[in-house]
Amino acid sequence: MKIFPAIDIKDKKCVRLIKGDFGNKTEYEMSPVDQAAKYKDYGFKNLHIVDLDGALTGEIVNLDIIQEIVAKFELKIEIGGGIRNFDSIKKYTDVGVEKVILGSAAIKDKNFLKEACEKFPNKIALGLDAKDGYLSVSGWKENSNLLTLDYLNEVNDYGTSRLIYTDINRDGMKQSPNFEETSKIANISNCSVIISGGVSSIDDIKKAKELNNKNIEGIIVGKAIYDGDIKLEELAKELDA
């Protein structure tokens, strides 16, 4: 199982939000590039990055930081946050990002998702952020009134290469991910699924592995690392376990 340490970027700093609330955030001293270096040193190969400035503005804001991380560390990066047109996708793929995550734009316009998968084969990841079974959009500020499973059934054969499922109620709360709902998603998804939101301890990583669901590719770990609940050395052991 792949482990994706997370970096959320806001105002050039690493931050973490509680349930996606920009008014409820914790800033950390380490720069995103230094944090990426740390992950690389511990042997991690994959990285989940969210450009929160991009999520708020709908434009690419931190391309220079992403480019520096890719060039310096040769990490496989998935990046999300405010990616709403083909030009933005191209900018990220041009600097060597492995997967570009489409969220709100894909949910509001299914054709955009379909065309993106056609234009950028094997590069598009779909970010499904759900609250009580319904998808949320626009930095989690709006409920789409779309049931997650209904939407997934509609776009399942568009050619998405990865799906990132986040339970918003768990995100930043360190209450363990919603394994049950993620498994439901993985059972119907045509592409591999990443578990996201709520990882609280190393036991969550072990539990994810025990799900033994071939369609679950990996898990994202964020706030628990920054707050010291999961030590990088113990997380790194799970890479080989």
**Backbone φ, ψ for residue 215 (5° rounding):** -90, -5
Does the annotation mark 132 as catalytic?
no
Token pair for residue 22? 């920009």
Residue position matching structure tokens 């379909």: 114
What does DSSP assign to residue 228? T
For residue 165, which of 139, 141, 130 has the smallest C-alpha distance? 130
Does the annotation mark 87 as catalytic?
no
Q: Tally Cβ neighbours within 10 Å of residue 180.
A: 9
d(CA 176, CA 160) in angstroms, rounded, equals: 26
DSSP H stretches of helix in the chain = 32-41, 52-57, 63-73, 86-94, 104-108, 110-119, 148-155, 179-188, 202-210, 223-226, 232-240
Catalytic residue among 51, 94, 129, 150: 129
Does residue 148 contact residue 183 with C-beta atoms inside 8 Å?
no
- Tell me which residues are annotated as active site: 8, 129
